[in-house]
Amino acid sequence: MISVLLPFHNERENLLQLYNGLTTSLVKLNTPYELIFIDDGSTDNSVQALENKTGNDKVILIRLEKRLGKGRALNHGLRKAKGDIIVFMDADLQDDPDDLPALIAKINQGYDLVNGVRFKRRDNAVIRFYSRMGNRFLAKFLNSPFTDINCGFKAFRRSVLDEITLYANNFRFLPLAAYYRGFRVAEIKVHNKPRIHGKSKYGARKLIFGIFDTSTAYFLYHFAEQPLYFFGIIGGGFFLVGLVMAVILTIQRLFFGMLLYQRPALLLSALLIIVGLQIVMTGIIGELIVYVNKRNKS
């Protein structure tokens, strides 16, 4: 079965056309499917566009009382999904339902995850620039093989989720996480249509959060398995600076008779040593947590 997850917020004018396009494409595949629409706190009565469709056993509608964000909306949808192949797709009609069979065909060739690559993008110049820079950053610092990781149109096997936990906004890095876990991944070109109805949800706020998400991804994929490396470098730096200051102050007191009780440097050196040790201990605790988790999984 194929489960298509469609989170939306205020997309009333797009949903019926999206439904019609998807059913047309999915029928051609001759495979059982379900469409899971997740209403992420819409205020424009978007669900009314689907009222005549929810009686169909192929359509599931999940209504969230308030807006939680795309990542949490997708998690709600995943709890209901029964398919062994999962598809993520935006509901603004910029993703073309006609491209869905190509994604599924690639999965059937033996790939675990297939990510879309938007060509002839219809987004504004700022979004395209941000996306291009983000993909270059990931390629350089995380060895990402993907050229459009932020594309919301992707298909993957359910087995991918057995190894990867989705939370908040890390759904956008699902392809990269799958690649690091050793799953077979691929990309295919997908159409990117201009938005005709509604307003884009991609503003300055998401751009800023995207930078933080990218930084989080960098940390997770470099240090999640060995947190002591990260915390050890930082904590060790603090400790060494504090230790050097303490040695200098001790020499000044023993050989030059300088009084230390009025020296702020004495307190600063002690603080740096203590903070450094605490940061290193945090890394050690992290290593223990990783070890216990690995042992439990094995």
State the CATH number of the domain containing residue 74: 3.90.550.10
Please check whether residues 270 and 159 belong to one and the same domain.
no
Say whether pLDDT at 157 is over 80: yes
pLDDT band, residue 160 (cuts 50/70/90): very high
pLDDT given for residue 10 in this prediction: 87
Kindly tell me if the per-residue pLDDT of 144 is higher than 90: no
Q: Are residues 72 and 97 in the same domain?
A: yes
Residue 163 pLDDT:
81
pLDDT for 202: 63
pLDDT at 278: 96
Q: In terms of domains, do 246 and 156 share one? A: no
List own/partner pairs for 132-138 with CB under 8 A and 24 or more apart: 134/210, 134/214, 137/214, 138/176, 138/214, 138/217
Q: What is the mean predicted confidence (pLDDT) over 222-234? A: 83
Among 191, 223, 255, the domain boundary falls at 223
Query: Averaged over 99-126, what is the pLDDT?
Result: 89
Answer whether residue 4 shows pLDDT above 60: yes
pLDDT for res 117:
92
Q: Which class for 119: exposed (0-12), middle (13-18), buried (19 or more C-beta within 10 A)?
A: exposed
Same domain, 59 and 42: yes
Structure tokens at 161: 């989720």
31 and 117 share one domain: yes
Domains of the chain: total? 2
- Amino acid 255: pLDDT: 82
Residue 204's pLDDT is what? 57
Last residue of a domain, one of 223, 250, 272: 223
Give pLDDT tens digits for 191-206. Answer: 988 777 767 666 556 6
Distances (CA, A) of 283 to 46, 152, 222, 229, 296: 47, 34, 14, 7, 20
Same-domain pairing of 52 and 67:
yes
pLDDT digits (tens, 9 = 90+) for 45-82: 888 888 777 777 789 999 998 988 888 899 999 999 99
152 falls in which pLDDT band (50, 70, 90)?
confident
Please tell me whether residues 175 and 238 are part of one structural domain: no
Of 223, 256, 273, which residue constitutes the final position of a domain? 223
Q: What is the reported pLDDT for 116?
A: 93
What is the pLDDT, as a whole number, of residue 81? 93
**pLDDT score at 168:** 65
- What percentage of the chain reaches a pLDDT higher than 90? 42
Are both 77 and 211 inside the same structural domain?
yes
In this prediction, residue 107 carries a pLDDT of 96
pLDDT band for position 18 (cuts 50, 70, 90): very high
Do residue 244 and residue 138 come from a single domain?
no
- The answer on 177 and 125 residing in a single domain is yes
**How far are the Cα atoms of 39, 119, 132, 153, 238 from residue 125, in angstroms, in the given order?**
29, 14, 10, 20, 43
Domain that holds residue 253: 227-297
More confident position, 82 or 180: 82
Q: Are residues 291 and 191 in the same domain?
A: no
The whole-model pTM stands at: 0.74
- Determine the average pLDDT of the residues in 241-258: 87
Same domain, 218 and 181: yes
